[in-house]
Amino acid sequence: MSKTKVALVGCDFVGMSLGLAIKRALRDVEVVGHDKDRDAMRRAEGARAIDRGEWNLPNACEGAAAIFICEPHGALEVTLRAIAPDLGPHTIVATVGGSNVAALRMAESVLVGNVPFFSTSLVYHPDRANDDAVLPTADTIRDAIWTIVPSRSASTQMVDTFVALANQVGARPIFVDPVERDGMAVAVEAMPMILGSLLMLAVSSDAAWSEREWMAGSAFGQIVSGAEHAPKYAAALEAQPDTAVHWLNQIMLQCMALRDAIAARNTEAVERLLTQAEERRQQWLADRRRGRIEGHIPIERDAGGLLKLLVGERMADRLAGNKKR
């Protein structure tokens, strides 16, 4: 029996974590990886996140039951145009990360109408690392929120298949509004990196920086590491300027409140602000650990062959509510 092929376009942290989870969760699957960076492909092979790397993009995706694109948005159009001729109504194509709205628009302009396209993102659990310097494991994706925005061309059967696959690898699939998701992503994904960049500018602009920069260590380095991703986050701000201005205003209000409390020597107010932040952080973590309470996402009884191909006949029947053995 031939193995089901899954293609990963982009072998970064996200791609590797997805590949490892798929290989553990699904039987008789071959995960083929593609990345412009040959070293990235070799790392993915070494970590066993992919079964093999393929330098030729069309070859990597040819005959795949599902294609996950984990590249930066700037490469999406080239990728979709390269693989579009071989796509049909029974191949899942999904972006993982980046702007949902932009990905949907790009797919609509490049792909033919019957290709089931999904714009998605993986929001890893806070207890797990999401760092390109750290190799992921098959557990990295466990309990991650997998946000899903199907294209208009995605049939109910294909949506069911995608949801079943997300559940099978241990993620928690949820459907989101693409505009709302992109707006919140500016706050919780882009802003932390951007604030680190602003801190780098503020500290390094001080006259004493050149003489005292050796005092900055690992804590400072982790906070300001986002500066190396300047093009990515600049594009996020450019795509949603009103949303970016809103969140910057909210952050500045908190900064001014802290500044005024310090200037007034109001230790109680300073402590109250910082304590409130920690209380809200703990509440957020507690909510994440409890998990989202979602109603059962119905799976069509006739979900088609791809569902059984990806997750197995018994699992497909169980997801569809079929109790027969």
pLDDT digits (tens, 9 = 90+) for 104-150: 999 999 998 789 999 999 999 887 765 556 789 989 999 899 999 99
Per-residue confidence (pLDDT) for residue 2, from 0 to 100: 78
Do 102 and 199 fall within a single domain? no
Do 44 and 186 fall within a single domain? no
Do 26 and 150 fall within a single domain? yes
Measured over the CA atoms of residue 204, residue 206, residue 209 and residue 213, the dihedral's sign is negative
Structure tokens that stand for 246 in this block: 């809103």
The rounded Cα 126 to chain-centroid distance in angstroms is 13
Q: What is the CATH number of the domain that holds 124?
A: 3.40.50.720
Q: What is the pTM of this model?
A: 0.83
C-alpha R_g of the chain: 22
Structural domain includes residue 65: yes
Tell me which amino acid residue 260 is.
D
Structural domain includes residue 324: no
* Distance, CA of 128 to CA of 116 (rounded, Å): 31
Q: What is the CATH number of the domain that holds 187?
A: 1.10.3660.10
Length in residues, the chain: 325
pLDDT of residue 60 exceeding 60, the answer is yes
pLDDT of residue 321 exceeding 70, the answer is no
Domain membership of residue 53 as a residue range: 4-176+295-319
pLDDT digits (tens, 9 = 90+) for 205-261: 999 999 999 999 989 998 898 777 788 788 888 888 999 999 999 999 999 999 999
Structural domain includes residue 12: yes
How many domains is the chain built from?
2
Beta bridge partners of 66: 6, 92
Residues 6 or more apart whose CB falls under 8 angstroms from that of 280 comprise none
Structural domain includes residue 94: yes
